[in-house]
Amino acid sequence: MNTVSVGNIKIGTGHPLVLLAGPCVLEGLERSLKIGRGIKAITQRLGIPYVFKASFDKANRSSFNGFRGPGIEDGLKMLQTIKDELQVPIVSDIHNENQIEAAAKVLDIIQIPAFLCRQTDLLYAAAKSGKTVNVKKGQFMSPKDMENVIHKIEEGGNKNILLTERGASFGYNNLVVDMRSFPIMRSFGYPVVFDATHSVQLPGGAGTSSAGNREYVEYLTRAAVGAGVDALFMEVHDNPEEALCDGPNMVYLDKLEDLLKDALAINEIVNKHK
């Protein structure tokens, strides 16, 4: 398996379980920093490499009036400040090729949203940035289909690739996670990430916004780590009820540490068989 480098962090077989986490979207600098500081303190206690996650623009909201974030210019300034203070790598998503040049100056991982994972030109342009590229598997994609996604990025001369499972559509407004997807996608030679919070989302389930079942995050997380993932992706908030988007599926900050302790214990067992 290729080891993926993100700053000083190594992701892949033989390396520690990594956490990509933060609020769904930047809700202002102070709130985002507060969440990031809290997560970093937990990961330092547990010895987990940490990458801060937040979106500067969520272009795929259910409603035209849904909160999208501060936009690319102000958002990247916030992410740079967070990066400087927390001294951790940063991941955020881009939605078109025009955003890549500016984003690559700040981000350590350029993330491709699930709905855009088949967009050849976007994948190729992200690859050419030289940054690690994390591709969310579309809800409409089989794990095997992601091999073609990898080839598109490799054509751009980039082998720092992460594949993220975030659930598959099961009827309307519902997602399920097929645990077979983890070994299938890992067989392509790149690390696999489990998005534990979007996987419990109910897309469009609240009419003009998505609903979610955060009570299942812990179960799916433990199962995914047992299936051999290399990293976890979680949206975390100090008070999800106040979150401006994705609140119903976000993890409470004060619940995160116990969940990660379980994940580490399971990962230790799994590593003996990798």
What is the per-residue burial (b if ≥16 Cβ within 10 Å, else e) of 195-204?
Answer: bbbbbbbbbe
The answer to whether the CB of 231 falls within 8 A of the CB of 20 is yes
For residue range 162-187, list pLDDT tens digits in order: 999 999 999 998 999 999 999 999 99
Give this prediction's pTM: 0.95
Mean pLDDT calculated for residue range 179-203: 96
Q: If one looks up domain 4-271 in CATH, what number appears?
A: 3.20.20.70
- pLDDT higher than threshold 80 for residue 274: no
- Percent residues over pLDDT 70 in the chain: 97
Average pLDDT for the chain = 94
